[in-house]
Amino acid sequence: MGSGGREDALAWRLRQSPSCGELIAAPGNPGIGRWAECVAVDPMDARAVTELSRSRSIGLVVIGPEAPLVAGVGDALRAAGLAVFGPSAAAARLEGSKGFTKDLCKANSIPTADYERVETLAEARAALDRFGTPVVIKADGLAAGKGVTVAMTLAEAEAAVDAAGDGPLVIEEFLDGEEASLFALVDGETAVPLASAQDHKRVGEGDTGPNTGGMGAYSPAPVLTSELEAQAMDEIVRPTARAMAAAGTPFSGVLYAGLMLSREGPRLIEYNVRFGDPECEAIMPLIEGDLAELLHCVATGRLAQIEPPRLSGRHSVTVIVAARGYPGAAASGGAIRAIEAAERVEGVTVFHAGTASSSGGELIAKGGRVLAVTAVAETFANARARAYRAVDAIDFADGFHRRDIGWRELERAS
């Protein structure tokens, strides 16, 4: 279910699974159409998705985006007897409400930033006085990865809360350190690590400009060492899974922990309840084995009974090609050519994030993030070089991209 780059990567990888006999995407996109049959069904329409799944005898539904999960589409599908990879609406509050997650962390001694939940502009301004700057302002609900302001000055902080007006916000202590993402498969109280990644949220090179849904990512994230990963699983992810189960709202699916690697150890920034985008595009090529069977085991409560997921040991780099104007009003309709030339670069797959077919059958941009160019190699440096070689082969006059994806790893290597 879904129509973005994340779903294209999931479809591409699921299609390679020996247990996947037939693959249907609702609604899909031109890229997903290479691997699956695309059906014009809205992922937010629980009744239509249920009818489609029943009529086609679907054995597993994989929900890509967060909005259907938070809205309870997975609950409706499960009520109809379908196996669903993705949490219930109650468990999806881990992403749907930043305040809910912060309260859960506080109640269960899960390391995270100090915070205050506010409902009005006056409360927000008072919280700013208490926290000082730098400070973090977060929208309490879903914001497509763009609802966070890291304010370095009081003027920036006041502008952020003024723009939000009255309504639920979370005002947080600023955490100093390096960010990394940890993806874990969770089935009730069973939680196992899957993969790590680092992404680039800012639109401009040098991590400047406004936040976006993500301009690139790479996996694994070497900064998240095996020791730090184990610490994050033991102190953050597994206590969260136990707390959700104890509350009668067990989590099932992939839990994406955004971490700050501080001097005191990993601290939770926030949770997402689905694969990240573009992290998913970077992670999928590294997963070995039968992905469809792995996700089905999670969906049917059998995660504890199977071997842990395996990764190839290779490196992947994803570069997002966005449409001019993104993350504001992005240009749509621009022609996209030479994707085949890009995919002739060794180890490269070009995932479609925001594409459509014109009336004449030409591939065009739908605006926003358009392509996710992913390369895999034995080393990070080679994967990065392949990704940019492929990006340079694409003919998309309205597109732009960052040239510094993975700059942290380049600095560490030098």
pLDDT at 244 over 80: yes
Is residue 181 within 8 A of residue 221, CB to CB? The reply is yes
Tell me the per-residue pLDDT of 54-76, one tens digit each, with 9 for 90 and over. Answer: 999 999 999 999 999 999 999 99
The secondary structure of the chain in percent helix, strand, coil, rounded to multiples of 5, reads 35, 30, 40
- In the structure, what pLDDT confidence band is assigned to residue 145 with cuts at 50, 70 and 90? low
β-pairing, 61-62 vs 84-85, is parallel
Residue positions counted in the chain: 414
Please answer whether residues 199 and 407 qualify as being in contact, where contact means their C-beta atoms are separated by less than 8 angstroms: no
What does the pLDDT read at residue 142?
A: 73
As a whole number of angstroms, the distance between CA 64 and CA 408 comes to 29
Kindly report, residue by residue over 293-351, the tens digit of the pLDDT: 999 999 999 999 999 999 999 999 999 999 999 999 999 999 999 999 999 999 999 99
Work out the burial of residue 206: count CB atoms within 10 Å of its CB; fewer than 13 is exposed, 13-18 middle, 19 or more buried.
Answer: exposed
- Name all domains of the chain by residue range, CATH numbers in brackets: 5-85 (3.40.50.20), 115-173 (3.30.1490.20), 178-311 (3.30.470.20), 315-413 (3.90.600.10)
Per-residue pLDDT tens for 204-218? Answer: 999 999 889 999 999
- For the cut 60, the answer to whether the pLDDT of residue 390 exceeds it is yes
The first and second tokens of residue 368, run together, are 């926003």
| 129's tokens | 């006085």
